[in-house]
A and B are shown apart, each in its own frame.
Chain A
Amino acid sequence: MRMLLLLLSLLVTPLAWGQATGPLIDALATDDYAAKEQALTALTETGDPAIVPALKALEGGQLYRRLTDDKVVIGRENGDNISLTDPLSGDTLGSVPAGDLELIRVNNRLRRAIGASLGALTLRSPDAAVRRTAAEAVFVNRDAAALPLLEAALAEEQDAKVKRSLQQARAAILLADANLGTEEKLSSIATIADKGGQAALALLNPLTGSTEPAVAKAATEAVRLIDNKLAWAAAAQNIIYGMSLGSVLLLAAIGLAVTFGVMGVINMAHGEMVMLGAYTTYVVQDLIRAHAPGLFDWSLLIALPLAFIVAGGVGILIERGIIRFLYGRPLETLLATWGLSLVLQQAVRSLFGPTNMEVGNPDWMAGAFQVGEVTITYGRMWIFLFGLIVFAALMLLLRRTPLGLQMRAVTQNRSMARAMGIRTARVDALTFGLGSGIAGLAGVALSQIDNVSPNLGQGYIIDSFMIVIFGGVGNLWGTLVGALSLGIVNKLLEPLAGAVLGKILVLVGIILFIQARPRGLFALKGRAIEH
């Protein structure tokens, strides 16, 4: 109660702010985490919105101690130097070399406390969206100290949506209080149940074992309802995960569908083409970081054509240098390309080193959004769309362009095509380059979700062959359907059987399927397959 009074008195006396908070902020500059936490509590209790930038800087690793005078300052990297601003007034304080500053470090406990403080302090922000985020932060942290600020904010809130969030946050804090009356508890449970979702379950689950029968009953009922809703969401989520995995597999396999499916070359170095695409992305990002940081969000789009050219070019070299001597000798091709894959891996390892390379996610690839209870991550969504676009583009190329026509002609009847005046050797090289180039495109996408290391390609080569064979060699639609269905089956099995057993079951399933239908899902009919 005393604290409530203190907080309220501070809330209505903004004049007292400023002078008092300065020394409190300087108290954050200590190596002792317990002392930092105390300093933070003291800061929050002032209720002064002016400390919000300082707390945000602390959370983001931008709050420093100036070694010359122990003053706490906000620093932003500016080339080799760090430009400073005053944490309270925001005045610029010049720029100093990094050696003159010491970062004020935070641990998890402090991060939680900062989140709660920021929530409490921004509850009365003029921006409704900020108020709502603040209410969510208070809901997550359930810090009883925020209750007075919350009540004050609730009393003057006009926006209905924000008001609901505030009420839910209040209910969450109240439920944590063991001495709460039954009536209050029941109404809080109703408020939380209304919110729904995993977060509500986390709050309601402990209450199902309550000693008060009415509370236990209400909580159990609420949990049952939320669980039902979540079960549907989980099923939908699994299918979306499956489609996302399928799109990754599709991207990895679609280039192989050209080299192996259309041309019939068993290319064990296909995975390394994917890897080359990923390394191209790394090099592009590295150059952008060094020379044009502003372009970072475009790095993937810039990398796409380059990856296609690099991987496609290497593909053409391989075809001209090795594979064209081995047409019609599948075993030799297999061994030669496998050896080549080792050579390429070791070459990249010698050039870039054996460690993983950091490929960053542009902002539009990071994070997730909610559709009801279903979470979709942006990265996966773009990769899914990208997979479909690549597929459509390849389809168009093969079906609607002269080059595509020549490719199909050469693979279907080489001598007839030559008799018609098609330069088959050139078409072979271009087809192989196209398949490799598409693998390079896949590498750009995979660099966003997987390791960029020399071993990147190895993880996908088996899956790629599996999909092309399962879908039906020589049929692009088969590759699409094969990749998506394998992805979905995999993700549906995973929660039931575990990741390891799930993978084994899929493999066994495919072996059995191939026994029954040796030509895969969509078998090519007619003369094309007879040669």
Chain B
Amino acid sequence: MSRRQFLRSAVLSITGAALMLGTAGVALAADKPPIKVGILHSLSGTMAISETTLKDVMLMLIEEQNKKGGVLGRKLEPVVVDPASNWPLFAEKARELLAVQKVSATFGCWTSVSRKSVLPVFEELNGILFYPVQYEGEESSRNVFYTGAAPNQQAVPAVDYLIGEGVQRWVLAGTDYVYPRTTNKILEAYLKAKGVKAEDIMINYTPFGHADWQSIVKDIKKFGSAGKKTAVVSTINGDANVPFYKELANQGIKATDIPVIAFSVGEEELAGIDTKPLQGHLAAWNYFQSVKTPVNADFIKKWQTFTKNSKRVTNDPMEAHFIGFNMWVQAVEKAGTTDPDKVIDAMIGVAVPNLSGGYSAMLPNHHITKPVLIGEVQADGQFETVWKTPGLVAGDEWSDYLPDSKDLIADWRKPLSCGNFNTATGKCGAK
């Protein structure tokens, strides 16, 4: 290469590089930094069985939103962390999301104990958490939006349905932790208020992962043979359900004799069981995959395409994330910023379509309105809706049936801005 040629090529390449730099600069100006969205679901450990699905659905929703152009003209960027079903790790990971990754909103948690563990972090660092699972209520935080069902949006209507079916004797069976204990306390008070006698209520708690149900199922059978129609209200959680239902089927308890209505068993859980012997057992949720609406058909199709599995099922907490995510998008658009204080204020009153054909709205107590559906298990592992509340039910965070909480309300609108306002004493924070 002669000296001249070298010079020429050098000049050319320099101009080329300068040109490229120039275009890159233009692109950067148009491409504002993405909005980070935290996903705080266990991908390993005991809860991975339920939470992995929610991580996937969030990734799908974010991808969909980015196809539509993102939010405020900015792309969304998911930040996935794995708290590994370890409750203290939830708090650490939440801190990482808020302090290091500076996410604008977080979608996460399944168990109440994980939510309680991250709550102080979100309050301290002023983050936003969307919590998608049905829970025991008795809580309302300024920084948390509860898109799952409160007890009055699941447990109480379920019991109402069974009363209408002529049930007079009740077995309240649950796993031994805070959600079943609180829910059963509410239900017991509710049933007694409806005139059910104490001897017609049997309460039973079992440890996590209880696998040997022989004697408890036998007790239920015995309790159900007192000549009154009996039903089991099950708050049994997670892995304990499969052996429980298998034992019911083996001991020949059919839904026509003693129906079991479950609050924690959805399509995902049934995927691991042969459902033929379980036909007719019930579940109460705010959404079933079998709901026939165009928006649900579209959601299922997108989900099965996204997961590349035509047999993947959808379930209630997924719908809760669908609602919560769309609410957040709308609130951010409304506020015109991702500033947490402004988004939190903008959230109240936001209404988005749910998957069962109506609209869900965010209430001042940070809970949402939803319909309540009762479904019967079908042979194909789906639920057939047999009953539905006529309208939407507003989430009630402080139960009216517990003496400690019946005077409390939450209202995060100014000037009240209080999560536990006592209407009897007129003070905030007094339980």
Chain A residues within CB distance 8 Å of chain B: 33, 61, 105, 107-109, 111-112, 115, 140, 198-199, 201-206, 234, 237-238, 241, 244-245, 248, 342, 345-346, 349, 353-358, 360-361, 366-368, 375, 377-380, 448-455, 458-459, 490-491, 494-495, 498-500, 503
Residue of B239, B254, B378 touching A105 (CB-CB under 8 A): B378
- Is B207 an interface residue when CB atoms closer than 8 A count as contact? yes
Residue of A nearest to B375 (CB): A107
Asked if B215 and A349 sit within 8 Å, CB to CB, the answer is: no
List which B211-254 residues lie within 8 A (CB) of chain A. Answer: 211-212, 214-216, 218-219, 221-222, 224-228, 239, 242-243, 246-247, 249-252, 254
Residue of A nearest to B250 (CB): A377
Asked if A368 and B252 sit within 8 Å, CB to CB, the answer is: yes
Residue of A nearest to B209 (CB): A459
Complex: how many Å from CA A499 to CA B49? 24
Q: A108-B256, A380-B214, A453-B49 are in contact. Are A356 and B271 (CB under 8 A)?
A: yes
Contacts of A366 in B (CB 8 A): 249-250, 277
Residue of B nearest to A241 (CB): B214
Shortest distance from the beta carbon of B215 to any chain A beta carbon, whole Å = 5
Residue of B nearest to A361 (CB): B274
Asked if A454 and B48 sit within 8 Å, CB to CB, the answer is: yes
Complex: how many Å from CA A499 to CA B274? 26
Task: List the 8 closest A-B pairs by CB distance, nearest first.
Answer: A356-B272, A198-B225, A377-B250, A202-B225, A206-B227, A241-B214, A354-B48, A499-B206
A-B Cβ contacts below 8 A, count? 159
Asked if A367 and B252 sit within 8 Å, CB to CB, the answer is: yes
Asked if A202 and B209 sit within 8 Å, CB to CB, the answer is: no
- Is B269 an interface residue when CB atoms closer than 8 A count as contact? yes
- Is B280 an interface residue when CB atoms closer than 8 A count as contact? yes
Asked if A503 and B207 sit within 8 Å, CB to CB, the answer is: yes
5 more A-B residue pairs beyond the given contacts A349-B48, A458-B46, A490-B212, with a C-beta to C-beta distance below 8 A: A202-B226, A203-B227, A454-B49, A455-B49, A499-B206
Complex: how many Å from CA A378 to CA B224? 23
Contacts of B254 in A (CB 8 A): 111
21 inter-chain pairs at a CB distance below 8 angstroms, sorted by A residue, are A108-B259, A111-B280, A202-B226, A204-B227, A241-B212, A244-B214, A354-B48, A356-B242, A357-B272, A358-B274, A361-B274, A368-B251, A448-B246, A450-B243, A453-B272, A459-B211, A490-B212, A491-B212, A499-B205, A499-B207, A500-B207
- Is B388 an interface residue when CB atoms closer than 8 A count as contact? no
Contacts of B212 in A (CB 8 A): 241, 244-245, 248, 490-491
Contacts of A448 in B (CB 8 A): 246
Asked if B215 and A500 sit within 8 Å, CB to CB, the answer is: no
Contacts of A380 in B (CB 8 A): 214, 250
Asked if A237 and B218 sit within 8 Å, CB to CB, the answer is: yes
- Is B379 an interface residue when CB atoms closer than 8 A count as contact? yes
Interface residues of B toward A: which range?
35 or more
- Is B416 an interface residue when CB atoms closer than 8 A count as contact? no
- Is B384 an interface residue when CB atoms closer than 8 A count as contact? yes
Residue of A105, A454, A491 touching B214 (CB-CB under 8 A): A491
Shortest distance from the beta carbon of B89 to any chain A beta carbon, whole Å = 14
Shortest distance from the beta carbon of B180 to any chain A beta carbon, whole Å = 12
Asked if B206 and A500 sit within 8 Å, CB to CB, the answer is: yes
Asked if B211 and A375 sit within 8 Å, CB to CB, the answer is: no
Asked if B251 and A375 sit within 8 Å, CB to CB, the answer is: yes
Complex: how many Å from CA A361 to CA B227? 32
Shortest distance from the beta carbon of A367 to any chain B beta carbon, whole Å = 7
Contacts of A491 in B (CB 8 A): 212, 214-215
- Is B417 an interface residue when CB atoms closer than 8 A count as contact? no
Chain B residues within CB distance 8 Å of chain A: 43-46, 48-49, 52-53, 165, 176, 204-207, 209-212, 214-216, 218-219, 221-222, 224-228, 239, 242-243, 246-247, 249-252, 254-257, 259, 268-269, 271-274, 277, 279-280, 376, 378-379, 384, 386
Contacts of B227 in A (CB 8 A): 201-206
Shortest distance from the beta carbon of B357 to any chain A beta carbon, whole Å = 16
Q: A356-B271, A358-B273, A500-B176 are in contact. Are A451 and B239 (CB under 8 A)?
A: yes
Asked if B204 and A355 sit within 8 Å, CB to CB, the answer is: no
Asked if B215 and A238 sit within 8 Å, CB to CB, the answer is: yes
Complex: how many Å from CA A89 to CA B226? 43
Asked if B214 and A199 sit within 8 Å, CB to CB, the answer is: no
Asked if A198 and B221 sit within 8 Å, CB to CB, the answer is: yes
Shortest distance from the beta carbon of B197 to any chain A beta carbon, whole Å = 13
Q: A107-B376, A355-B271, A452-B272 are in contact. Are A205 and B226 (CB under 8 A)?
A: yes
Contacts of A109 in B (CB 8 A): 165
Q: A108-B259, A355-B271, A498-B205 are in contact. Are A455 and B384 (CB under 8 A)?
A: no
Complex: how many Å from CA A366 to CA B216? 19
Contacts of B221 in A (CB 8 A): 198
Residue of B204, B214, B226 touching A498 (CB-CB under 8 A): B204
Shortest distance from the beta carbon of B318 to any chain A beta carbon, whole Å = 13
Shortest distance from the beta carbon of B307 to any chain A beta carbon, whole Å = 10
Which of A244, A346, A358, A448 is the most central at the interface, judged by chain B CB atoms within 10 Å of its CB?
A358
Shortest distance from the beta carbon of A299 to any chain B beta carbon, whole Å = 13
Complex: how many Å from CA A459 to CA B238? 13
Shortest distance from the beta carbon of A53 to any chain B beta carbon, whole Å = 18
Asked if B272 and A107 sit within 8 Å, CB to CB, the answer is: no
Complex: how many Å from CA A147 to CA B214? 36
Contacts of B224 in A (CB 8 A): 202
Complex: how many Å from CA A108 to CA B206? 28
Q: A241-B215, A499-B206, A500-B206 are in contact. Are A453 and B251 (CB under 8 A)?
A: no
Complex: how many Å from CA A495 to CA B205? 12
Asked if A379 and B250 sit within 8 Å, CB to CB, the answer is: yes
Asked if A356 and B269 sit within 8 Å, CB to CB, the answer is: yes
Shortest distance from the beta carbon of A47 to any chain B beta carbon, whole Å = 23
Complex: how many Å from CA A241 to CA B212? 9
Shortest distance from the beta carbon of B284 to any chain A beta carbon, whole Å = 14
Shortest distance from the beta carbon of A400 to any chain B beta carbon, whole Å = 34
Complex: how many Å from CA A377 to CA B252? 9
Residue of A346, A495, A503 touching B219 (CB-CB under 8 A): A495
Contacts of A454 in B (CB 8 A): 48-49
Shortest distance from the beta carbon of B201 to any chain A beta carbon, whole Å = 15
Q: A241-B214, A366-B250 are in contact. Are A111 and B222 (CB under 8 A)?
A: no
Complex: how many Å from CA A61 to CA B378? 9
Residue of B nearest to A495 (CB): B215
Complex: how many Å from CA A345 to CA B44? 9
Shortest distance from the beta carbon of B359 to any chain A beta carbon, whole Å = 25
Residue of A115, A349, A354 touching B256 (CB-CB under 8 A): A115
Q: A354-B48, A354-B49 are in contact. Are A199 and B272 (CB under 8 A)?
A: no
Shortest distance from the beta carbon of A107 to any chain B beta carbon, whole Å = 5
Shortest distance from the beta carbon of B84 to any chain A beta carbon, whole Å = 9
Complex: how many Å from CA A354 to CA B153? 28
Contacts of A354 in B (CB 8 A): 43, 48-49, 52-53
Asked if A355 and B216 sit within 8 Å, CB to CB, the answer is: no
Complex: how many Å from CA A245 to CA B206? 16
Residue of A107, A234, A238, A450 touching B211 (CB-CB under 8 A): A450
